């Protein structure tokens, strides 16, 4: 049986041997939702970075090498000065991102992605690509043979985030329904599964209840919530590959 765990805050990653694991990083509000939106809309790749300075440096280096990249992301939910786009999935539409590379800096999501980079496989999951992520993970079980599957919740400023825990439960629910006897659920996974199953009919209510959802509403970004809550709206699998770039699997 393959152990399934939900890492409820990124600091929990320290307890696991990532090299043997398949990791799904989840930041429903909003980084992994926006990454799925960008790739679905035709972006060539997304590079998650940890700081604004790093984002600017990487994009300048790309420019010097004759490539261009959109500088995207947020600090406190809003795009830093000089950035091309923020971190709203509504911004990552075809007209903006088709065939473009994107350097993305966010407060929690891109940090969790960078911190997971030593894992055997890293993908970005959200509600908007739930079924695609489940099918991809399941289809790669034989070839990847991960010692463990970890759903890593990006949370908010180091704290637990309800919306990421909910989506982790959705991924486990999907995996369990395809292969009920294949996985060994940690207690964190049992709890996430139970929470998802109790609330799956109203994902928007989960996002609206969450602290992060309320904060986004306070910033005037409440219109992002229905987009982030829409199951399978962007059915792509963002996969981390060479040199940290995330591309469509």
Binding site for ligand MLT (CB under 6 A): 27, 29-31, 74, 77, 87, 106-109, 154, 216
Compare residues 130 and 175 and give the one whose CB is closer to ligand MLT.
130
User: Least CB distance from residue 140 to ligand MLT, whole Å?
Assistant: 26
Is residue 204 within 8 Å of residue 164, measured between CB atoms?
no
Question: Which residues, in sequence order, are bridge partners of residue 238?
Answer: 248
CB of 211 to ligand MLT, least distance (A): 11
Q: How far is the CB of 144 from ligand MLT (least distance, A)?
A: 26
Residue 101 vs 212, nearer CB to ligand MLT: 212
Neighbours of 144 (CB within 10 A): 14
User: Which residue is at the shortest CB distance from ligand MLT?
Assistant: 106
Distance of alpha carbon 205 from the chain centroid:
20
Beta carbon nearer to ligand MLT, 102 or 154 = 154
Q: Which of 236, 229, 34, 219 is nearest to 127 (CA)?
A: 229
CB of 63 to ligand MLT, least distance (A): 25
Q: How far is the CB of 87 from ligand MLT (least distance, A)?
A: 4
> 197 and 174 in contact (C-beta within 8 Å)?
no
* DSSP code at position 85: B
**Of residues 29 and 119, the one with the C-beta less far from ligand MLT:** 29
104 vs 236, which CB is nearer to ligand MLT? 104
The widest CA-to-CA distance across the chain, in whole angstroms, is 52
Report, in Å, the least distance between residue 29 CB and ligand MLT: 5
DSSP H helices, the chain, are 31-40, 52-64, 94-97, 109-115, 130-139, 141-144, 162-178, 187-199, 203-209, 211-218, 224-228
Residue 48 or residue 146: which is nearer to ligand MLT going by CB? Answer: 48
């Amino acid at each position: 049986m393959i152990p399934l765990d939900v890492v409820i805050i990124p600091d929990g990653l320290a307890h696991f041997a990532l090299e043997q694991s398949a990791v799904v990083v989840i930041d429903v509000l909003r980084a992994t939702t926006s990454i799925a939106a960008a790739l679905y809309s035709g972006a060539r790749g997304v590079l998650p970075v940890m700081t604004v300075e790093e984002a600017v440096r990487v994009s300048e280096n790309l420019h010097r090498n004759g490539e261009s990249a959109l500088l995207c992301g947020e600090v406190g939910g809003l795009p830093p000065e000089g950035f091309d786009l923020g971190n709203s999935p509504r911004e990552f539409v075809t007209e903006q991102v088709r065939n473009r590379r994107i350097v993305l800096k966010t407060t929690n999501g891109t940090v969790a992605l960078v911190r997971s980079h030593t894992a055997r496989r890293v993908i970005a999951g959200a509600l908007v690509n739930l079924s695609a992520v489940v099918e991809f993970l399941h289809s790669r079980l034989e070839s990847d043979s991960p010692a463990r599957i970890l759903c890593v919740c990006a949370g908010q400023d180091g704290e637990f985030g309800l919306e990421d825990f909910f989506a982790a439960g959705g991924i486990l629910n999907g995996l369990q329904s395809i292969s009920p006897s294949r996985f060994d659920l940690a207690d964190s996974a049992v709890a996430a599964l139970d929470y998802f199953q109790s609330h799956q009919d109203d994902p928007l209510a989960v996002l609206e209840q969450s602290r992060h959802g309320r904060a986004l509403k306070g910033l005037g970004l409440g219109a992002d919530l229905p987009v982030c809550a829409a199951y399978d709206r962007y059915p792509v699998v963002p996969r981390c590959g060479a040199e940290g770039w995330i591309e469509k699997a």
